[in-house]
Amino acid sequence: MPSDAALDTAARLLAAAAAQGRSSLSEPEAKEFLAALGIAECGVRATDRARPLLEAAAAAGVSRPMLHLQLARLRYSEMKGAVASGAQVSVAQAAPVLEVLERARVLPRVTAEVYQCFVVLFADLAESLTSAQLAIIDEAARLFPRDAELIF
């Protein structure tokens, strides 16, 4: 569960600082702490608290696939809430979600969940998929051939 791992990361960062006699985290540790805390907040469905933490960690350049995945999910929910029920969205409306999914996609240890989010988002687009977007779906099927949500 992401919240357990995220809380473990946050606790480890704080413990390491305390063991070194520091009362605060270094800048890289603080960025990781923001990410871990934001992911943990998503794990307990506290999205109102998670969003600013995740946005800050992403803006600070933290490179964790789960950070970008959770941020994409929050942005997706916000995007869907801004359109009529069942309505499709434009690429411009989807751009904030696509941005963080792209960041997650190029990181090591990317998960099938990132590609599942791409597929869900692409299904909501009013425009036809571009060749680059189709290539992402093809990549997903190649990387995760046993994931039924990506194949169908």
pLDDT at 19 over 90: no
Residue linked to tokens 């571009």: 130
Alpha-carbon span 117 to 137, nearest angstrom: 11
User: How many CB atoms are closer than 10 A to CB 32?
Assistant: 23
Confidence class for position 26, pLDDT limits 50, 70, 90: low
**Whether the predicted model's global pTM rises above the 0.85 cut:** no
State whether residue 89 is helix, strand or coil: strand
Confidence class for position 22, pLDDT limits 50, 70, 90: low
Please name which of 122, 119, 129 lies closest in space to residue 150, comparing C-alpha atoms.
Answer: 119
Contact 133, 120 (CB under 8 A): no
Confidence class for position 1, pLDDT limits 50, 70, 90: very low
The sign one gets for the Cα dihedral 112, 97, 40, 81 is negative
